[in-house]
Amino acid sequence: MPVGVQAALLELVRPQSKIQLGSRRKWGTSGKLVRPWNVVENVPRDVLISKDEKPRRRVVFGKKEQGK
């Protein structure tokens, strides 16, 4: 997504508002909060990922240290 488009969309996100990924009636309102979009991942992971898809290792990139 182009940086300008992402910035324009993020301006529309209200900090106090949260939206659930799935139906509140079916999945409830609790779950992991995904920032900066303020989306609550209230659907179980096994429902989000196909049973045929192999689990993948999550990649975390380190932060750059200043001066290097």
pLDDT digits (tens, 9 = 90+) for 12-66: 999 899 999 999 999 999 999 999 999 999 999 888 887 787 777 776 777 666 5
Residue 24: domain span? 3-48
Query: Dihedrals φ, ψ of 38, to 5°?
Result: 60, 45
On whether the CB atoms of residues 41 and 34 are closer than 8 A, the answer is yes
Quick one: pLDDT at residue 47? 87
Q: Give the count of beta carbons closer than 10 Å to the beta carbon of residue 44.
A: 11
Specify the 3-state DSSP secondary structure of 6.
helix
Q: Does residue 59 lie in a domain region?
A: no
Q: Is residue 35 part of a domain?
A: yes
pLDDT at site 39:
95
* 53 in a structural domain: no
20, 31 contact by CB (below 8 A): yes
Amino acid at 57: R
> Looking at the domain assignment, is residue 60 inside a domain?
no
Global confidence as pTM: 0.64
Q: What pLDDT is recorded for position 45?
A: 85
Number of domains composing the chain: 1
